[in-house]
Amino acid sequence: MILQLFNSYFLLALSILSFATAVPVPDPYNDDEISVYIVPGNRTFPEGIARQLNSPYFYVGSVINGDIYRGSVHEEHLVPFLTGSAYNLTGAAGMKIDCKDRLYIAGGGSGTLFVFDLHTKKLLHRFSNGFSGQNQTLLNDLAIDEAGNVYVTDTVQPTLFRIKASEVDSPTVDLPLEKWIDLTGALGPGANGIVVTEDQKHLLVADIFAGEIWRVVISSRKVDKVDIAGGLIGAPDGLLIRHDILYAVNALPEVGQSVRVIEMHPGYLSGTQVRSITSELLEKPSTAAFDGDDFLVVNFQFDAIQGPALPVLPFTVVRIPIEG
């Protein structure tokens, strides 16, 4: 059942995933404590989310048409921000914002990662991996290290891609994605959420199909499976990390709608699942972003994209306390 569900998920170029990797400070803009934010549209299916620090804004994207919506933590309703078709952005998956307010969007089955200036809405870059089509590629999520390098997962290709910081600062719009690590024989297919550890030496990558977390040593490109005690972690989608606590959004309601909390041990080769964060507001979530002491969680509802189930409307982003 699970395999069939995710095979169909591939065919629709749906990506799962997405989270911020930097450790944010508590934000003064989130004091209104709205619990439910409304995403426009009856067929939006929002998947990724990115929180813009030092502002009240956050952004989500539609896997159906690539449209990007902006929300304010003070306002109940999100509003249209970018029209995907204007940039050949046909589906938006994982999203991140860097320290220069550049929005990065994993483009799923297009095999392209898009970069926009949030202030001008200008398209800065399109990084392509050379593949296209739902059966060939599914750029799913990304993480940005403190130096500005970008690491990108692909749920179909057994490859971890990289964008160097110098490429992001380049004036050239269309550039290739570097095939940084061949994951054949290790992780994948199934690479999904990704974070940079706080020591800036490692990446942690979710395998949504196997229910595993993998560690990548950035300097050597060595890839190892993380040994996690404390029970199965379900189907890990988007990841977040703060103070060496890893948070994994569980993508399958069959094993519980939740964010799994994993205490990582020194070296990041092992960890212990210590609890599961649940809420009645969760509706088949995909990704989350930190907002002070809360999560902003996207209710994706991926199982309703091709039916026969219908989505619960409206689509929402919900605020969930990190500490229960």
Q: Is residue 300 part of a domain?
A: no
Measured CA to CA, the distance from residue 21 to residue 271 in angstroms comes to 18
HSE of 281, CA atoms in CB hemisphere, 13 A: 17
According to the model, what pLDDT value does residue 27 have?
Answer: 52
Host domain of residue 175 = 2-295+305-318
Please tell me the least confidently modeled range out of 2-16, 91-105, 288-302.
2-16
Provide the token pair at 158.
């057994």
Asked if pLDDT for residue 26 goes beyond 60, the answer is no
**Overall number of domains in the chain:** 1
Q: Is residue 46 part of a domain?
A: yes
Q: Is residue 324 part of a domain?
A: no
According to the model, what pLDDT value does residue 317 have?
Answer: 99
Q: Is residue 250 part of a domain?
A: yes
Question: pTM for the whole thing?
Answer: 0.91
Q: Write the CB contacts of 21 (distance below 8 Å, at least 6 apart in sequence).
A: 96, 143, 144, 145, 194, 195, 196, 240, 241
- How far is Cα of residue 231 from the mean position of the Cα atoms in its chain? 23
Q: Is residue 215 part of a domain?
A: yes
**Predicted confidence (pLDDT) per residue in 37-95, tens digit:** 999 999 999 999 999 999 999 999 999 999 999 999 999 999 999 999 999 999 999 99
Provide the token pair at 104.
């990065």
Provide the token pair at 57.
């804004």
Name the amino acid, one letter, at 230.
Answer: G
Q: Is residue 40 part of a domain?
A: yes
According to the model, what pLDDT value does residue 9 have?
Answer: 41
Average pLDDT of the segment spanning 208-233: 96
Asked if pLDDT for residue 15 goes beyond 60, the answer is no
Average pLDDT of the segment spanning 227-243: 95
Of the two residues 48 and 307, the one the predictor is more confident about is: 48
According to the model, what pLDDT value does residue 168 have?
Answer: 98
Measured CA to CA, the distance from residue 69 to residue 287 in angstroms comes to 15
According to the model, what pLDDT value does residue 313 have?
Answer: 98
Please tell me the least confidently modeled range out of 30-39, 152-161, 273-282.
30-39
**Counts for the chain of helices (H) and strands (E), in that order:** 2, 26
Asked if pLDDT for residue 14 goes beyond 80, the answer is no
According to the model, what pLDDT value does residue 309 have?
Answer: 86
Asked if pLDDT for residue 142 goes beyond 60, the answer is yes
Provide, rounded to the nearest whole percent, the portion of the chain with pLDDT above 90.
81
Asked if pLDDT for residue 3 goes beyond 80, the answer is no
Asked if pLDDT for residue 251 goes beyond 70, the answer is yes
Q: Is residue 45 part of a domain?
A: yes
Asked if pLDDT for residue 7 goes beyond 50, the answer is no
According to the model, what pLDDT value does residue 307 have?
Answer: 82
Asked if pLDDT for residue 116 goes beyond 70, the answer is yes
- 47 closest CA partner among 311, 324, 323: 311
Preceding amide of 189 cis, omega within 30: yes
Measured CA to CA, the distance from residue 169 to residue 246 in angstroms comes to 30
Q: Is residue 268 part of a domain?
A: yes
CATH code: domain of residue 188 = 2.120.10.30
Q: Please, what is the average pLDDT of the chain?
A: 91
